Chains A and B, each alone.
Chain A
Amino acid sequence: MNDRIAQAFDKIHAEDALIIHTKEFLTVKTRHFSRKPVPAARKIAVAMACFMLFFIGGSSYLSWFTSISTISIDVNPSIELDVNRFDRVISVRSYNEDGDSLLAETDLRFLDYREALHLLLETEDMQPYYSPDSFIAVTVFGSDENRKDEMLAIVTDCTSIYRNVHCSSGDSMDASDAHASGMSCGKYQAYLELYSLDPSVTTEEVQKLTMRQIRDRIQDLSKGGCSRPDSERAHIKETEHHEEEAHGGGKPNSDKNNVRDENQNTNKNQSTNENTDTSEHESTNPDDSPAKNKNRNENEKNNKNQNGGHHCRGRHGG
C-alpha cells in the first residue's frame, strides 16, 4: 500500500507556472522583500493611540449626550429643553398640544440654549403670550447649584427684553416626579406651590390650566391668608414621599387623598374661601377689569415676597 500511494503522490508536482506566479506575488506583496517588520514599540503605540481615541471618543459622546440642566418654559405651551455641559440643547420635550405646535415650527436641538431660548420666544406662536394677562415661566433645573445659578442669571438676562417672562430656578429632585405626572418641571413646581395652599388640587387639573391661571389661584389663595409656611409644605412633600413608599411607588398625585384627609380639618375655612375664589376665577374673563388686574398685581408682589428671592422679572415686563 505504501508504495502505490507514494508512487501516485510522487507524480504530483507544483507546476512551474504556479511557482513563478507565487514568486511574483511574494515580490509584489513584500515590495521586493524590503518590507521591514513593524517594531513592537510602534505596535504598542498604535494600540495605545486607538485605545485613547476610543476612550476620548466614548467619554465625549457620553458627556455630549448627558443632560446636566433642564430649562422649563411654561405659558400654556409647556416645553423642556435638556442642556448638556457644553450649553447645547440635546433634547426638547413638549407636554401639551400647544407645546407640540410650537416645537413643530422650530428645531432647537444642538443649538446653544441662549439661542434656543431666543428662537423659541421669537416664534409667532409665542407672540400672543406677551399680553399683560399672560405669565411666562422660565425655570432652570439642575443638580449643580453653581451652574444652575449661573444659568439662571444668563436666562434672566436673555429673557429680559420680553414681557411677562418670570425666571426662577427649581429643585432638580422634583423633575422625576414632574415627568411621572406628565408635567414639565416648571409647571410641576407651580403645582407644588398651589398644592401647598390647596391640597385638593390634582395634577390632572393643573395640566389643563395655564400658568396665568395657576398663578392667579395661588395669589387668590394667598390673599385669603391660608398660605402655608415652607416648613409645612416640606412636611406635606415628606408625607407624600412616605405614602408613595408605603404603596410601592406610583404617581405622586395618586396617593394624595390621605394627605388631603389629614389636612381637610385644618383647612375647612380655607376650602370655603378657595371654592369661592376658584369659582370666581374660573368665571373670570381674560379681559379683566383694571381694578381686578391691580388687585392681581398686588397679590403677585406678595407671592413673590413669600417665595423668596428666586424669582426675577424681565426688565421690560408688563
Chain B
Amino acid sequence: MRSEHEVNRAVEQYADTVRRLCMIHLKNYHDTEDIFQTVFLKYVLSSVVFKSAEHEKAWFIRVTINACRDFLKSFFRSRTVPLDALPAESAGLTEENSDVLAAVLSLPAKYRNVVYLHYYEGYSAIEIGSILKKNVNTVYTLLTRARQLLREKLGGDWNE
C-alpha cells in the first residue's frame, strides 16, 4: 500500500485530470465523486511500479476511463436517472468555453475520449491507441469524425 505522502502528491497532481475525465463521461457530481474516490483508492492499493511520471499519468487516465465505463454499464446506473443532468462545473466559464465544452460533451462517448486526450492532454494518435487499447488507424478515424462533428456544431470557422 502506498504512503500518505505519496497519495497526497498524486491527488494534487492528477485530481484535475481525473475530474475532467469524469466530467466528459458523467453528468452528475455524486457519480463524479464516487469515481474520483474509487480511482484514488485503486491507486493507494495498487502495487504497480511506475517507470515515469508519464506512465503514472497514463495509468490514471486508463483507470478513470475504465471506472467510468464500468459505472455506466452497471445494473444500478442503467436503471436510475440522475437528479442533476446538467454539469455543475459551468461556473467560471466564458460563453465560448461553455459552447466548446457543450459541443464536446454532446459527442458520442468514443469521440469524447480521443478529443480530450488529443486536444487537451496533447497525446498523439499512437499514444492514444496505446492508452485506450485501440488500433492507431481507429484513433485517426475517431479524431477525423470528431473534428467533423465539432465543425458542424461550432460553425464553419472551426478550423485546425
Which residue numbers of B lie inside 8 Å of A, CB to CB? 1-4, 7-8, 11-12, 15-16, 18-20, 23, 32-33, 36-37, 40-41, 44-45, 47, 89, 92-93, 96-98, 100-101, 104, 115-116, 119-120, 147, 150, 158-160
Contacts and interface: CB of A to CB of B under 8 A. Distances in A.
Nearest to A34: B1
A35 interface: yes
Interface string A1-22: 1101111111111110011011
B20 A1 contact: no
Contacts of A5: 100, 104, 115, 119-120
B147 A8 contact: no
Interface residues on A, range: 20 to 34
Contacts, number: 95
Query: Helix, strand, loop or mixed for chain A's interface?
Result: helix
Contacts of A26: 7, 37, 40-41, 44
A10 B94 CA distance: 12
B33 A18 contact: yes
Given A14-B19, A22-B33, 5 more contacts: A1-B119, A2-B119, A6-B120, A26-B44, A35-B1
Nearest to B3: A33
A4 B19 contact: no
A171 B97 CA distance: 91
Given A8-B93, A22-B37, A25-B41, A14 B18 contact: yes
Nearest to A20: B11
A22 B16 contact: no
Contacts of A235: none
Interface string A260-275: 0000000000000000
A301 interface: no
B97 A11 contact: yes
Contact of A13 (B3, B16, B96): B16
Contacts of A21: 33, 37
B19 to A, nearest CB: 4
Contacts of A11: 92-93, 97
